[in-house]
Structure 1
């Protein structure tokens, strides 16, 4: 007479779950929960993370990598060997979630949003301060250059006594520098 093989035995054989591991969970409900559902949940989480990191945002490749990875884990027999690790991860995740739940009673979730908003505001202030400093440095550099030509940076260069003694090309460059300096002064005050 032929041996009768039940469906659960076929599933355990396909997944590569050893009889030693199977004997730790006596009832079919425990076996279904602890050997199929929870390990598959952890496997799917890691496979999603793995396939997303490889394929980026392309959903077709992500799904292809996910299916190939799952089949590789199951058909090579890794699933049965990794079940104890998956169950350990399950307890670690539950422990972390418990700690986060307890701390959420002391630190309200909205507080993180407020801190993030304040951080964004401070970041923008810091960026504006850097831009203002850049414009101020540009003003100082242009003032120094204009003074080296004998031009007072606080007065219109065309109305200065030594204006007529300069060459035409030099006059054009001085006017350009003077306008750049005026623009940098305006922008440095505009940011305040």
Structure 2
């Protein structure tokens, strides 16, 4: 069942959204190691079948830092799907990407759709469970070099937890994929 998915344009689009020349329809951000060959693959294929031009961060486990290509792809995408799984915060790459996605949302009017996959939004908002463990690790790692970095990530996790999106709880993957695709079809004015 979808969380109270709002009309994305009512909560975070700006005048620049209507005049922005988007290169991609959708940018997908996810922690690849736990869901790349299952849910992400299904969602990616379904979006492509519907004709959406999708940029996916398939190399997230191979790159230690976000490249300019990823930053540009984020900025060039009308929608960002942020698929939050239990291991999402284990990746510095994913957390940096989330920070850039939310900045792009504010600056360019990109619409962000979180999918809470096997996690509750309150786990992000309150930094509980796997998110508490990961953030504790990052705080220890960056305490001397860039202590404010982790606080920015915490703020980003809280922000994305408060966005309307989709929750996998109680759904078959096929149903969740269909709900996301249908939401995007509506946003693009592609109703049946």
TM-score bin (small chain): under 0.3
Give the TM-score, by structure 2 length: 0.18
Select the structure of larger CA radius of gyration.
1
Relative to its length, the structure with more helix (as a share) is: 1
Relative to its length, the structure with more strand (as a share) is: 2
Give the TM-score, by structure 1 length: 0.18
